[in-house]
Every structure is written in structure tokens, then in C-alpha cells.
Structure 1
């Protein structure tokens, strides 16, 4: 099967013609057809000789920058070393860049990759190509691995998110009552089973009567953990989807800078508590047409069961009932913010008992929309 893969369509056509001409010439007694078939066989044999051998070529590919912004450029350095004596029919080297662009050369060179849009650009694998001048046979051997270049979405600078996420030595306080933590909440009467180490003796001596004791109660503390979810099916076109990804990437970039644990679910791709670059890589991989918002929210719950804040980014397609279903996937104690990207609406905020709804018209409105502790 691998041998057949080296034969080009023109080579297969020539092989069929050779067999047909030779056979027909032998049957009819036409020496011209036999000679024609023999000539085709000689050509195929000569082409086979040119494709044989492993070749002593070393290829190395290096990328200057693997993570870029849209319209940025990077340079790809390709080193080609022909070990030993270089023959006339030394193999060429092909380097695929993206889906369509292929560079062909027989010695080292430097390639500029420019004009990129958000996404993942696959560079490589670099392959050596052996073949004949007529293109009858073509044998390729991969020499390097595929190198991915990530083009992240555009982002806008945001105010620090840590202002409203009150953090103590262990994390941020919640509304959950605990019997042992750092954030003091209140005093209550002692109940069987309470730890006697939490009895507040001074208050007991002043306020308690009839031998009753007062114990301390605390608010449970937990480390802040933001989850950003971008669904991939509620946007009318690619431009609105790009705005949604840019908004999510801006929030993630700010959260990572504030040293807040961050999980990203973008159109089905998941990143769990990675650094800023790895989290933004998820946005680069996202494509329009991913899972619906409710399914994306379910994946986010599985990826981050200890979330304290979730930002659901969606389009104008979903109504309040659908947004409520997606938000209900998270526990009640998790704060929920829904960011609806709608170029035809005005940027605004609307709070409800279940979650806060933000409407974003364009990316430049995001800093003002999130200012003043909106994500608190």
C-alpha cells in the first residue's frame, strides 16, 4: 500500500498504458506497441531508481514566536543540511504552513509568516521529497514534528478583579457558615457535638446564664476560582463570535494577572487552571458551531467543581429561560454573570435574583461595563 502511495496519477496512467500497449502489441504482432510499452516500463524503472534511498538530509524548523496577536507576524527558520556528498538528484524539502501554503526549497531559508487571523496555524511537518523530473513517482519522508502557532484573540485591559473577591490567608469568604475557619461571623449557643475549643469564654461569662456556653461561628473561606464559558452556537456570524472570544480572553487575562484560579470552556475546548498563555490557547482553538450554552455550562461544572464565579458569554439568541437553565448547572453559592454580545443593542447592566445580565455591543465597551466591581 505504501508503494502505491508513491505513484502519482500520471505514473499510474503510464503503468496501465505500458501493460496495455505491450500486451496488445504481443497479441497483434505490432512491434511499435511493444516498443512503446517497453519504453514506458523503462521510464517507470528510471523513476523508481530516483526515489530509492533514504538520503542523508537533516532538517530543523524553529519558530521565533509561537503565540501572537491578530495581524502580528513571526519568522520560521528552516535549516537543511545535506550530509555527505550532495548529488544532482538530492531531495527537496516541503514545509506546509497552515492549510494551503506550502514552501518548497532544497536548502535552508527563513520564512516570514504574516497576516494571521485568530486560530491555530500548523507548521510542518517538514518532509523530504524524492521523485523524478516527469512526476511519475513521488516519495515523501517526514523529518520534523508539527509545530503549532497560536493566534490569540484581541483583548482590552480591565481593572483588577481582586477588589471584590475578598481574600484572607486561605482564600475569599463566602456566605456558608462554618465551625472552623478564619473569618469570624457570630456567636451562638453551644450544641452537643461542637468543638469545645471554639467556646468564647469571655462572652459566656458576660452573657450566658444557667450554665449555657457560647461558641464562635465562622464564614467558610475558599480560594477564588473564576470560570469563563463561551458557547459556540448562539452567534449570528463570525464577527460576533470573535467579539465574544475577545471579551472572554480579556477577563481571563486579567484574572490570571490577579493570580486567581481560572478555568476556560470555549466552544467545547477546556483549559483547567493553566497560565495565561495556555488559557488563551483555548480561545485560539475555538471555532463557531460548538456545543450549546447549557452543554458548555455542564462541562464547566465538571472541570471546575470548586468555582466561585462563572461568566457565561453568549449571543442574543438565548432568552432569559435558557440563560437560567445554563446558570442552574452551577451550585447556588456560585456567583453567576451572563455576558450577552449583541451588536444591535446598547451596552448595559441588568441584575436579577439568579444572576447578573450584561449586554455588550462592542469590545471597547467592556472595560466600562466591568468597572466598579461588576464581577464581585
Structure 2
């Protein structure tokens, strides 16, 4: 492929040749001939065939935002590479132009190279293809030969530690929600007879010896309520791209923490037009996949969309699941007020916590809930937001204001 420099040399040489013929000036023909000779030499320099076999492998198929993608590149050579040939690895972050990385020139035989590429955005990161780039010294011609296909890596939100159990209510306080996974650290509550399949670690040996039958300790574990997290996708709600990324990180951390603790976690998205949509999933991998691809959207109608709406079917399903639940709204602080939830979306006993992400401010706003009890907090990043959420959820679980 001829480069821009080569096109310029070709046009200039052609004009000089025409001027030489029109003006009958042999002096103009000499640089024209030199230009054509350089073009011919450059074309011949990149015509050599490349004999190179290579493979590109990724060490893991998914990483979190901000981490590096580890690559292992295997190369098998026959003969020598052309003199002016370089090995390039092409990579592309989501929604960003492709980048070229020059790798060390391989020696003869089979070798293995390792590389670390940084990823900064969620989505599908592409590592590869691997190409051999031939270019003459003057940069007139360039030839790219693909020697290995690329690989894709899913870039997930960065998870932060969240005290999901702060939203728990004791088992004696309510009969709803899901009981957390039993642990030996739970407060001693009662004894019952051993049944096949029980964990032997929970056997109370002193009582078993005294009564002559195996007895199991039953711990008073808190009941985890259903956790609903609404992520605001309206671009006008955020101060910038980084605030939205922290909002996605917090949403993923809350849902993953709830699911891993054995609670029911439900993902909602507030899209353009203030419409709420519930994202169906079957577990942690599906939640991470869905959140790795979300992007902020602009309302085509130009409305502020302060009052969120939901379809009748979605609202009906949510109301059943939201009884005695914790509803968290994750949004930005660019709008004067956070989005309001419709009253029919929440069930009796529901608690609402609103987290607004802004890199320039932190604190608490006066509560003004449209339905249920709510508190509004502003955080600088996902870590700060997780701490504020745990405090608000814990106060609400004890019967106080969120």
C-alpha cells in the first residue's frame, strides 16, 4: 500500500516529468527519474513474503476496569524477517481508536513473548490482531501481513467492598427476605435434631452427649431483604464520564454483594425518557456482563425526566419483590434533584436510599421521598458511596430514618 508520502512523491515526480517535456528541460527530468526510482525501490522492498506463524492467548477472559490484560504470544519463524519489518500488536479499548504496540523483533526459531495492556473502559477489549508491518526507509510504501487473530476480553466494573448485611433485619423481626448463609459465627439460638445432610460442624457435642442424640446448633442469622438497585443512565445527571463509571461500579458492587450473600438482587435501569426497565439475569456473571456494556444516554426529547415511570407489568413484578426490601437509586449530582420513584413501584416497608455521585462534593441532602422513607446522599466515588449506603441501610433496618 502506498503511503501519503509515496503519493506526494508520485505526484511531484509526475509533474516534474510533464514540466520537463513541456519546457524541454532535462534538468527537471533528473529529479523526476529519481522519484520514480525511489518508488520502485520502495515497492520492491515491501514485496518480500513473510514466513511467520503466531498465536495470541489471553490469560483471563474477563478483567475489571483499571486492570491490565495479560497476553502470551507464541511465534514460530522460518528464516529471517525483512530488514525493515516490525511486529505490531493492535489493541482497542471500547469506544476508543485502535492503538499499535511495537513488540521486540523475534529471533529465529520458536519464542514466547508476554505483554501487559492496560484497559480503562468497560466493555469488550480487543487484543490483536498481530501483524508484521513492512515499510521502506523513506516511508513510501507499507505492507501489513496478519499473522495471528485477536482475542476479546470482557472488562467488568470495578467492585468495591460493600457491607450488604447492613440492610439485614433479624430473623425474629420479619418473616420476609432471604436468610443469609448460615455461619458458625452467628449468635447461638436453639438446638434441633440432626438430619442427614446437615453440616457436621454445627453439631453441639456437649448437648448431644447429654441427651444421647445428635443435636444441631441453629444460629440466629439475619434475614436479607430483596435488594433493588436502579442505575440512572441519563447522561445529563452526571458531571462527567468518571462520575458515571463510579455509579456503575457501585451498582455492580451492591448487586454482586447481595447475590453472593444469598439475597435476591434485582437490576433496574432508568433510560432516556425517564422509563424504568428491569434487567433480567440469573446470577453474578450475567449482572457483570450487563453492566459492562451500559453507556450513558441522552434524552432525545430533551426533558429532565425527574419522575420515573415503569410499565404495568414491570411495576407489578417489582411490587411483589419489593415488600420489605431495600431500593437503592444510583445517579449523578448534576441535576438539582434526584429522580423520583413512582409510588406503585414500592411495597409496604420498603426503604429507599439515593446515592448521587459527584467528584466535587460529599454530604447528605434533605430527604424528600415520593414514596416510602428515603435518604439522599452525595459521594465522591464508589468507595465513599458504599460506606454511605451501608450506614443508611443499617439505620433503616433498625427502624430509624435511612
Deviation at 1:263, TM superposition (A): 3.3
Bigger Cα displacement from structure 2, 343-352 vs 126-135: 343-352
Cross-structure match for 1:230: 232
User: Relative to structure 1, is the Cα distance of residues 127 and 313 closer, same or farther in structure 2, using a 3 angstrom cutoff?
Assistant: same
Unaligned stretches of 5+ in structure 1?
1-5, 169-222
User: Relative to structure 1, is the Cα distance of residues 275 and 137 closer, same or farther in structure 2, using a 3 angstrom cutoff?
Assistant: farther
Cross-structure match for 1:153: 158
Please tell me the root mean square deviation across aligned C-alpha atoms, in Å.
4.3
Cross-structure match for 1:251: 254
What is the aligned counterpart of 1:328 among 336, 342, 365?
Answer: 342
Cross-structure match for 2:389: 366
Q: Is the 8 A contact 1:25 1:31 kept in 2?
A: yes
Q: Is the 8 A contact 2:353 2:392 kept in 1?
A: no
What is the aligned counterpart of 1:7 among 2, 24, 28?
Answer: 2
Cα distance between partner residues in 1 of 2:312 and 2:35: 65
What is the aligned counterpart of 2:80 among 63, 75, 86?
Answer: 86
Q: Is the 8 A contact 2:59 2:70 kept in 1?
A: yes
Q: Is the 8 A contact 1:225 1:306 kept in 2?
A: no
User: Does the residue aligned with 2:394 lie in a helix, a strand or coil?
Assistant: coil
Unaligned stretches of 5+ in structure 2?
107-111, 179-224, 379-383
Deviation at 1:313, TM superposition (A): 1.5
1:276 partnered with 2:284: yes
Cross-structure match for 1:340: 355
1:112 partnered with 2:116: yes
User: Relative to structure 1, is the Cα distance of residues 277 and 93 closer, same or farther in structure 2, using a 3 angstrom cutoff?
Assistant: farther
Cα distance between partner residues in 1 of 2:370 and 2:80: 75
Cα distance between partner residues in 2 of 1:86 and 1:38: 32
Cross-structure match for 1:139: 143
Bigger Cα displacement from structure 2, 39-48 vs 88-97: 88-97
Q: Is the 8 A contact 2:164 2:258 kept in 1?
A: no
TM-score for both structures, normalised by structure 2:
0.61
User: Relative to structure 1, is the Cα distance of residues 254 and 245 closer, same or farther in structure 2, using a 3 angstrom cutoff?
Assistant: same
1:166 partnered with 2:182: no
User: Relative to structure 1, is the Cα distance of residues 230 and 296 closer, same or farther in structure 2, using a 3 angstrom cutoff?
Assistant: farther
User: Relative to structure 1, is the Cα distance of residues 330 and 296 closer, same or farther in structure 2, using a 3 angstrom cutoff?
Assistant: same
Count of aligned pairs between the two proteins: 312
User: Does the residue aligned with 1:124 lie in a helix, a strand or coil?
Assistant: strand
Cross-structure match for 1:312: 329
User: Relative to structure 1, is the Cα distance of residues 17 and 375 closer, same or farther in structure 2, using a 3 angstrom cutoff?
Assistant: farther
Can you list the C-alpha shifts for 1:20-53, whole angstroms capped at 9, x where unaligned? Answer: 1222222223333323223322222232233336
User: Does the residue aligned with 1:126 lie in a helix, a strand or coil?
Assistant: strand
User: Does the residue aligned with 1:16 lie in a helix, a strand or coil?
Assistant: helix
User: Relative to structure 1, is the Cα distance of residues 14 and 262 closer, same or farther in structure 2, using a 3 angstrom cutoff?
Assistant: same
Cross-structure match for 1:17: 12
Cα distance between partner residues in 1 of 2:375 and 2:131: 50
User: Relative to structure 1, is the Cα distance of residues 245 and 166 closer, same or farther in structure 2, using a 3 angstrom cutoff?
Assistant: same
User: Does the residue aligned with 2:2 lie in a helix, a strand or coil?
Assistant: coil
